[in-house]
Amino acid sequence: MSPETVTALAAATAATGVIAIYQVLSDLFLRDRSRVSDRVDEEFLKKRKDQARKSPLFKNLGQVAAELSTDCEARPSLKQRFIAMVEQSGMDVTPGRVAAIAGLVAASLFAIGFVVRGNPIDAAAAAVVGAIIPVWVVKKRRDGRIEKLRSQLPEAFDLMARVVRAGQTFAQSLLAVADEFPQPISTEFAFCYEQQNLGLSPEVTLRDLSRRNGLIELKIFVLAVLVQQQTGGNLAELLIKLADVVRDRYKIRGTIKTLTAEGRMQGWILAALPPLMLLLLFLLNPGYAGVLFQHPNILLITFGIELVGALWIRKIVNFDY
């Protein structure tokens, strides 16, 4: 037997051994990990169902139905938007607790800034930054959760269409999404399903679903389903068309992000350039840059102008479609 044949057989034997070891390890460990993951998802859904049963929505069903059926188009107040942001973030925290944390951080930074700088203006600026940080963290969590929920909608609508075609009810299709999909869409649809089980009408639960998440795609879904329930029609076909519409909107959203990436990058660079240059000057020549800190009003005015410019650029590159 030639050396090349022996080498080839040895390599094949080694590859086969590696594959066999991987299969054994996957059966021993990955199966348990998958089982634990499924168990965690199941417990989370149970927790979500318990929250639905304890929700104040069910203390006065008539009042809730009246409030949601009015479908008021008035612009929400700042407090309502803050409460909605905390609710949409999916974090196990109340709006009051977020406000308390922001106040505590702001008070701490104000005290530290006043002790270090001895200037109430500098301390107030530090307090403003401290109050913004917790809200910004919640907003980033909300944005990530909403983006993931938007990406799950087309496949969820496809599954609902298949369930309806199989002869199941619309409520069963909601339960199928809650059982088969990961978070966050599973928890939202499970919450909607439990609301119906506890006495709320489908119209009220669907309107609350769209209100709770604030997605235009969910509003389209709710409006289409409500119209179908009132006028009749093929619900499975409607859900398939909704999946195609949401999928096309998601593609358009990605295209818009690609086309506006340059503008957003320019905005970040323009916003970050002044503080970076100030830091560089402070490191190279502290005496020269330190003169600017003797005039905090100039720094505050510069920060305000920078903030207005950043918001202006954000308004240009972010638009509804």
Summarize pLDDT for 292-317 with one digit per residue, the tens. 878 778 878 888 888 888 888 878 77
- Residues 6+ away with beta carbon under 8 Å from 48: 187, 190, 191, 194
pLDDT computed for residue 32 by the predictor: 53
61-75, 193-207, 259-273: range with lowest mean pLDDT: 61-75
Confidence bin at 321 (pLDDT 50/70/90): low
Q: What is the pLDDT of residue 72?
A: 47
Contact 68, 211 (CB under 8 A): yes
CA angle 246, 248, 251 (to 5 degrees): 110
> What is the Cα–Cα distance from 67 to 246, expressed in whole angstroms?
28
The reported pTM is 0.68
**Domain parsing of the chain, residue ranges:** 3-54, 260-321
Higher pLDDT: 118 or 14? It is 118
pLDDT at 162 over 50: yes
Q: What's the rounded Cα separation, in Å, for the pair 252 and 258?
A: 10
How far is Cα 224 from Cα 127, in angstroms, rounded to an integer?
A: 47
- Calculate the alpha carbon distances from 94 to 3, 76, 87, 132, 220 in Å: 71, 19, 8, 17, 28
Rounded distance between C-alpha atoms, residue 145 and residue 154, angstroms:
16
Which pLDDT belongs to residue 254? Answer: 83
Q: What is the pLDDT of residue 158?
A: 93
Compute the mean pLDDT over every residue in the chain, rounded to the nearest whole number.
Answer: 79
User: What is the C-alpha to C-alpha distance for residues 50 and 197, in angstroms, rounded to an integer?
Assistant: 12
pLDDT above 50: residue 7: yes
- Quote the DSSP letter at residue 295: -
- Quote the pLDDT of residue 152: 92
Model confidence band, residue 94 (pLDDT cutoffs 50, 70, 90): confident
Q: How confident is the model at residue 88 (pLDDT cuts 50, 70, 90)?
A: confident
| pLDDT at residue 159 tops 90 | yes
In this predicted structure, what is the pLDDT of residue 313? 80
Q: Which range is least confidently modeled, 34-43, 81-90, 93-102?
A: 34-43
Higher pLDDT pick, 66 / 198? 198
> Average pLDDT, stretch 30-44?
55
The stretches of the chain forming alpha helices (DSSP H) are 3-25, 31-54, 61-70, 78-88, 95-117, 120-165, 170-180, 185-197, 202-213, 216-231, 235-259, 261-284, 286-293, 296-317
Which of 294, 314, 316, 304 is closest to 274 using CA atoms? 304
Residues 6+ apart with CB under 8 A from 245: 220
Higher pLDDT, 206 or 38: 206
Mean pLDDT across the stretch 228-249?
A: 89
Burial of 164 from C-beta contacts in 10 A (0-12 / 13-18 / 19+): buried
Highest average pLDDT, of 2-11, 21-30, 146-155, 294-303, comes from 146-155
